[in-house]
Chains A and B, each alone.
Chain A
Amino acid sequence: MVVTVGIGSLATAILLAQLPRPATGPAPIRFRNVAANAGVDFVLENNPTAEKHLIETMPGGIAVFDYDGDGLPDIFFTNGASVPSLEKSPPRFHNRLFRNLGGMKFKDVTEEAGLAGAGYSIGASAADYDNDGHVDLFVAGVHANHLYRNLGNGKFEDVTAKAGIGSAVWSITGGWFDYDNDGLLDLFVVNYVKWSPEIAPFCGDPVRKIRAYCHPRFFDGLPNTLYHNRGDGTFEDVTERAGIAAQMGKGMSVAFADYDDDGFTDVFVTNDQLPNFLFHNLGNGKFAEVALEAGAALPDSGRNISGMGVDFRDYDNDGRPDIVFTTLAGETFPLFHNHGNGEFRDFTYRSRIGPLTNQRSGWGIGLFDFNNDGWKDLFTANSHVNDTVEIFEAAKYKLANSIFANAGDGTFRDVSSGAGPDFQLARAHRGAAFADFNNDGKIDVVVSALGEPAELWQNVSADDNSWLILKLRGTRSNRDGIGARIRIGNQYNHMTTNVGYASSSHAGVHFGLGKAKQVDRIEIRWPSGIVQALTGIRANQVLQITEPAK
């Protein structure tokens, strides 16, 4: 079924499929850190101890979402806690919510919103799970997860117990998606390892008594958890029944996409020093773990690597979502190209990402078109996991973030050095979230850093290119339209909020349009199966799109 909604009926002469590829390289990408001026004064308090408890190096998840429905994305930061008590006292350990006031100004509204939180928080994921039009928030942490329902009046209510999603293991993050296309968002929780403050083996160099954070092999892994949304505010743990429980991992991040185009959203989970998981959604409430068969479990080196943050999007505009994730120095950031027929191939070197990232360590990651030239670029938030790494290796602990521009020919170029003087700031970066905070059509980035102020990277690239941001409103599908697949010309994207490490970006679906001033056709395939087409759309706008009734 195709429903055509005419928003501007003139067919344009400019077809995005014919966008010229840049002859002299991608358009420049520039950022400026405006956090201090914007009033985003968050410092990630990871509480490092002499015992080097593993949790201390892992926090930093960020959720970007419009909690008050004013059309401006707000920012939520997770924060650490005291160790070993795992209590959020003193208040410097509170999670923080910053309301976007417009004009790149933010205000701390944590207390009013009731989101100071509890426990050692790691990751966050936002979505409107109860379809009431107010975006809710899941916060993952060490031995405790929390679900906060947005009451629509600027306040949140902790509904964890009522929802039935309490947990006693160490979770890194959660991800919202509708695995059975019933119009209700389900929750996938990524669990890391079995840990407690009592487990603190000496790792590092015992001869010279130099302590380091332990390799994950010192800890037993955990299965991930899948909760099915019953639609009455409660969830059912279907981990076992869905085939998720059988896979023991050390999960770090999750991303969603329908990689085989069968209409059901699939799940990719990075694991730390274990093969990744690709849970193929069988469409009957069950998943099959197929990463090895699909070629997405390990890079071509065949080695287990430190899978960190992930994005699952189409970088080469062939209509198929690809996988890219961060790792640690010496491992390169793998890029798995979706070859169709359920097969991925390791394009880490073919895309040039391999040599560009061999000496980098990364956490947050996102494939977004930062220069609006029609090709998704790659941002990574960088740092090594171990603050003592420089004693042992050539790898650096604190690193500047990276931006790799998509050259449009299947390769990327490192344009970090030209991204602005303050972009070279080396810190222990962790989570990253992406949104257009000032409605200028350019994707900005917010990044957390251990023990240091968060960074708000305003995209100050030239305004030469056009753009479009689609904000979806599902009716038969889930209200956020999560899982909807969108095609504009030769570009493809899908609505997902899980991007990067422990973070969530709930801010619509962004498209760079190059020099085009109008879009000939937008095609949206909603999770309900409805296919909606819009024609003759003016560029450079935030477009609210409601799913048609049929």
Chain B
Amino acid sequence: MLLCLLLLWLQNPATLAREHVKQGFELSQKGDLQSANAHLEAALKLEPNDVEALYYLAVNQYRLEQFARAKTSSERILAAKPEMKPAILLLGAVLEKLKDYRRATRLLESVPDLVRQQPEWIAVLARCYYHSDLVEKGRATLDWLLPAGPAAIFLGAETAAQSGDLGTAQRLFESIRSTYPDRAQLGYELAMVQYQAKLFAESQATLQQLTAAGTRESRVYNLLSWCYHRQNRLPEALAAMKQAIELAPAAETNYDHLAQMLIEEGRYADANEAAEKALVVAPTSSAAYLLRGRSEAGIGNFKLALQSYARAAELGPANADALLGLGMAQQKLFQFREAASSFENGIARFRGNALFYQAYGRMLLDNGSEEARAVSLLEKALALDDQLGDAHYELGKYLLGQDKVQPALAHLEAAAKLDPRDSRAALALAGAYRRLGRNAEAGEQLRKFKELEALKNSSAPPQ
């Protein structure tokens, strides 16, 4: 009789569910999240309202970056137990990942004690504030990390850096310069923040302190090279990048960066050589082929550039720049049908990438064909990204040519505002103002055009 009762008890769904939950928890602890979730889901089939199982499942889903599922699980918990603070915390963290910052903030703010317990949750809440443009609150939240020691402060600094609050990041990194155990890591991160803040000389000094202290890392010399480059100290930049390459001769990044730097300097032949070296260490690198294409285009060899862009696009289906470069090289080589195909391909594959619309529309206008379509493409580009100066300029120029001066003016003014160094926009604006009889403004734009052209000519490399 007792045995029968025991068997009945063992076959009881609640008992079986508990067993699954137990196994799920143990597997979670061991890091086998997929197996753990199988048990937890089995438990939930038997006991759909088992909050404990749901919670473990939601946590695992969060750890597996299955944020949509984690959200559903968390919301089921809170539907059953609205006051369950860990679930509130979890849902807040999940929503931060899903970029629902406003709701995430509200949830996290409702459980301050839990948030303050872990530096990770403090960082999550701070990110929510930053993304909601509540910079001061973000900063104040990161200050909660100060008593938690160097590792937590390091996390806070990283969070601030990722959120673009470079001043706070720098302050936090500097506050642990003497206490953080990994000096090289800290120094590199600090230098990176300084670089991003355009404090190139400070970044350079930080990196030089590292090298003086014996740090011999390729990434340090790489960043040092960029610091020199941004200070127009090309010889030092090249020397530092050479050291970066010597320290990691098989690393493609350094060759890529060298090529990029040389392209920016207009030294296309040297850039081409660097890109070729990148391809020796990484023969299937889409990025290296893209840079080789850019260097070849810079040399003026568009036929070779087209081949490189095509290979870059083939190797990197996600490399939008490669496909865009391919389309533009095809256009340059008068392969208009192929260029149109590349741009259309880019529009289909990289939805939301306004540059394909812009390039396509510009090409159609340059060819004097399908003008209505060209306008529509440029307008679409601006609908996706109204900060595209080129699209504004092309539309403005086209409308001016159609004697639609007022709408042209709006686009040209936008183009000039977005890129105050764009001499073309100044010239076109002068024409628009002149037609409207606004001669003083036209004169001012012409003066600006001349200034910008003089500046361009004085800085153009002779290649």
A168 CB within 8 Å of chain B? no
A413–chain B nearest beta-carbon distance, Å: 14
> Interface stretch among B88-96, B116-124, B294-302, B311-319?
B294-302
Q: Is the interface of B mostly helix, strand, loop or mixed?
A: helix
B428 CB within 8 Å of chain A? yes
Q: Binary interface profile of B, 405-432, with partner A (CB < 8 Å = 1, else 0)?
A: 0000000000000000001110110110
Q: Take A206-B269, A207-B269, A302-B423 as given contacts and tell me if A292 and B446 are in contact as well, using a CB distance cutoff of 8 Å.
A: yes
Partner of A295, one of B332, B333, B424, B431: B431
B214 CB within 8 Å of chain A? no
Chain A residue at minimum C-beta to C-beta distance from B302: A393
Q: Take A302-B424, A393-B302 as given contacts and tell me if A293 and B446 are in contact as well, using a CB distance cutoff of 8 Å.
A: yes
- A218–B453 Cα distance when bound, in Å, is 17
Query: Contact between B460 and A217 (Cβ–Cβ < 8 Å)?
Result: yes
Q: Which of A178-227 contact B (CB under 8 A)?
A: 201, 204-208, 212, 217-218
- Chain A residues lying within 8 Å of B302, measured Cβ to Cβ, are 392-394
A21 CB within 8 Å of chain B? no
Q: Take A303-B424, A392-B300 as given contacts and tell me if A207 and B273 are in contact as well, using a CB distance cutoff of 8 Å.
A: yes
- A205–B401 Cα distance when bound, in Å, is 38
- A302–B428 Cα distance when bound, in Å, is 7
A318 CB within 8 Å of chain B? no
Q: Which of A264-313 contact B (CB under 8 A)?
A: 275, 292-293, 295, 298, 300-303
Query: Contact between B401 and A300 (Cβ–Cβ < 8 Å)?
Result: yes
Partner of A298, one of B273, B366, B427: B427
- Chain B residues lying within 8 Å of A218, measured Cβ to Cβ, are 462
- A391–B303 Cα distance when bound, in Å, is 7
A333–chain B nearest beta-carbon distance, Å: 13
B110 CB within 8 Å of chain A? no
Query: Contact between B446 and A392 (Cβ–Cβ < 8 Å)?
Result: no
Q: Binary interface profile of B, 304-336, with partner A (CB < 8 Å = 1, else 0)?
A: 000000000000000000000000000011110
Partner of B427, one of A206, A292, A358: A292
A6 CB within 8 Å of chain B? no
Query: Contact between A330 and B332 (Cβ–Cβ < 8 Å)?
Result: yes
B71 CB within 8 Å of chain A? no
Query: Contact between B333 and A292 (Cβ–Cβ < 8 Å)?
Result: no
- A358–B450 Cα distance when bound, in Å, is 27
Task: Give the total of B residues in contact with A, Cβ under 8 Å.
Answer: 36
> Interface stretch among A118-126, A154-162, A347-355?
A347-355
Query: Contact between B300 and A355 (Cβ–Cβ < 8 Å)?
Result: no
Interface residues on A, range: 20 to 34
Chain A residue at minimum C-beta to C-beta distance from B269: A206
Query: Contact between A292 and B368 (Cβ–Cβ < 8 Å)?
Result: no
- A359–B397 Cα distance when bound, in Å, is 22
Chain B residue at minimum C-beta to C-beta distance from A348: B368
Query: Contact between A354 and B368 (Cβ–Cβ < 8 Å)?
Result: yes
- A407–B335 Cα distance when bound, in Å, is 29
A346 CB within 8 Å of chain B? yes
- A303–B335 Cα distance when bound, in Å, is 22
A41 CB within 8 Å of chain B? no
Q: Binary interface profile of A, 333-366, with partner B (CB < 8 Å = 1, else 0)?
A: 0000000000100100110101100110000000
- A230–B442 Cα distance when bound, in Å, is 40
- A204–B463 Cα distance when bound, in Å, is 9
- Chain A residues lying within 8 Å of B334, measured Cβ to Cβ, are 358-359, 394
B449 CB within 8 Å of chain A? yes
Chain B residue at minimum C-beta to C-beta distance from A273: B457
- A330–B328 Cα distance when bound, in Å, is 13
- A9–B273 Cα distance when bound, in Å, is 79
Chain A residue at minimum C-beta to C-beta distance from B394: A301
Partner of B367, one of A206, A207, A358, A394: A358
Chain B residue at minimum C-beta to C-beta distance from A353: B368
B203–chain A nearest beta-carbon distance, Å: 33
Chain B residue at minimum C-beta to C-beta distance from A202: B269
- A346–B335 Cα distance when bound, in Å, is 26
Query: Contact between B369 and A355 (Cβ–Cβ < 8 Å)?
Result: yes
Query: Contact between B299 and A205 (Cβ–Cβ < 8 Å)?
Result: yes
Residue of B334, B368, B428, B442 with highest tally of chain A CB at under 10 A: B368
B400 CB within 8 Å of chain A? yes
Query: Contact between B299 and A350 (Cβ–Cβ < 8 Å)?
Result: no
- A289–B154 Cα distance when bound, in Å, is 62
B206 CB within 8 Å of chain A? no
- A292–B423 Cα distance when bound, in Å, is 12
B438–chain A nearest beta-carbon distance, Å: 14
Chain B residue at minimum C-beta to C-beta distance from A393: B302
Q: List 17 A-B contacts (CB under 8 A).
A: A201-B462, A205-B269, A205-B299, A205-B300, A207-B269, A207-B272, A292-B430, A293-B434, A293-B442, A293-B443, A293-B446, A295-B434, A301-B397, A302-B427, A352-B368, A391-B301, A392-B299
Name 4 extra pairs, CB < 8 A, besides A205-B301, A212-B300, A300-B431: A204-B300, A206-B269, A293-B443, A302-B423
Q: Which residues of B contact A (CB under 8 A)?
A: 269, 272-273, 299-303, 332-335, 366-369, 397, 400-401, 423-425, 427-428, 430-431, 434, 442-443, 446, 449-450, 453, 457, 460, 462
Q: Which 3 A-B pairs have the closest CB atoms?
A: A302-B424, A355-B368, A394-B333
